[in-house]
Amino acid sequence: MVAALHATEAPSDIPAAIRTVKAELRARIGDYRGVFAQVEDAMRREVAEIVDLREQGQEVWPVVAFADIAAGTVPQLTVEAIRRRGCAIVRGTFPRERAQAWDAELVAYLDDNDFMGRYRYLDDGVFGGLAASKPSIFPIYWSRPQVQAREDANMVAVRGFLNGFWRHESQGRVWFDPNRDTAYPDRIRRRAPGTTSGGLSAHTDSGSIERWLLPAYQQVFRHVYNGDPTAYDPWDGAYRTEVHEFESTVMCSAFRTFQGWTALSDMDHDQGVLHTVPIPEAMAYLMLRPLLDDVPEDDMCGVTTNQVFPASEKWHPELIESLSGIPDVKAGDSVWWHADMVHSVAPVTDQKGWGNVMYIPAAPWCPRNEEYAKNVREAFLTGSSPTDFPEEHYERAWVDRFHEDQLNQTGRRGLGLG
């Protein structure tokens, strides 16, 4: 591997780097066509089952009651379904009335600080298709509802439950602490009734071209690249806490076990909602697909720098067929999907009702997340935008943002304050 591929910045000649790594990986795998055919066949079987479930009117997304998580009584069949599908709805993570009160408080927070009068559109490379002069994604991070939700005992219980699906200790090493959260602040979405939105096309986050080029990512997918994709375990935390991403507007500096959001309003399943490819093992398919002979030598099926990792009808038709949306959700429910999973947001015309969420992932404590927590802590103390996000800094002068003396113990530990 050329030295440039170990750097924190992307190689200056991406096409050349792609040609180099393709040759290396094909040689390492051996019969790369046969290995891909094996993965493709497994994907087709999974997709066929998912499509059949949808056609029968059955829900694809597993649903779990928060009360069962809190009591430790989640049915084993539900546990198995979450592990297989890599996603879940947690009903009643917060009481519906509390979530609705948070929603109203966020409106007041924005209005009291004249957010709309100060707002300047900035394309972040992810939600640009949803943004306009009147935003739906609001770049605020330090409101009382957001911080309270992140540090709440219910959220701690849900994230601990989800972290438990991952193998956090292997090869004589502990990769992360599943019982300690790291504060990973993110934004809110407020999508108004009557909205028409083109949605977001299918993609996955947490690394794009780096997944092939960087040594730690090659370790994550070591079984795939050793020609034994059946040994690849998407729930194995090994080496994931050691990867990094090239500097870009779409990078994530933290290790997340699950991405997630908490509903602040009721949302019906046909109103421009989240969809996923509910197959955690699909990343093996995505990683091998560019090695086939029908893909140009300097192309990774459209994956490049400074963009999210796309999944498309052109290159990944088997996966796109399985995109499955969430069921109806109520305010206070939370929605979670494995951090590698392909996901999209469906388009909507003349949306019925509000579509409001707080983005809150599961990011357990590990050296990588501890390092990012230093940046988050500084952003929190100054009211700045966290370093993974555009430098908008709306909240710096907002006196009613959340402050250090209001944090509970979980909040303090998540920021590395104690």
| pLDDT for residue 3 | 36
| pLDDT for residue 307 | 86
* 36 located within any domain: yes
CATH code at position 44: 2.60.120.330
For the four alpha carbons of 300, 13, 204 and 344, in that order, the dihedral sign comes to: negative
CB 183 within 8 A of CB 369: no
* 117 located within any domain: yes
HSE-up of 396 (CA within 13 Å, CB side)?
11
Tokens of 407: 């944090």
How many domains would you assign to the chain? Answer: 1
Closest CA to 341 of 368, 323, 329: 323
pLDDT tens track for 16-35: 999 999 999 999 999 999 99
**Gap between the Cα atoms of 102 and 345, Å rounded:** 24
* 92 located within any domain: yes
Pairing of strands 63-65, 87-91: parallel
* 306 located within any domain: yes
* 6 located within any domain: no
* 5 located within any domain: no
* 35 located within any domain: yes
Segments in the chain below pLDDT 50: 1-6, 128-133
Which residues share a beta bridge with 200? 345
| pLDDT for residue 32 | 97
Residues 6+ apart with CB under 8 A from 144: 105, 109, 400, 401, 402, 406
Containing structural domain, residue 268: 11-414
**Gap between the Cα atoms of 365 and 151, Å rounded:** 14
| pLDDT for residue 24 | 97
* 234 located within any domain: yes
CA dist 389 to 126, 127, 141, 288, Å? 10, 12, 10, 30
- What is the distance between the terminal CA atoms of the chain, rounded to a whole angstrom? 41
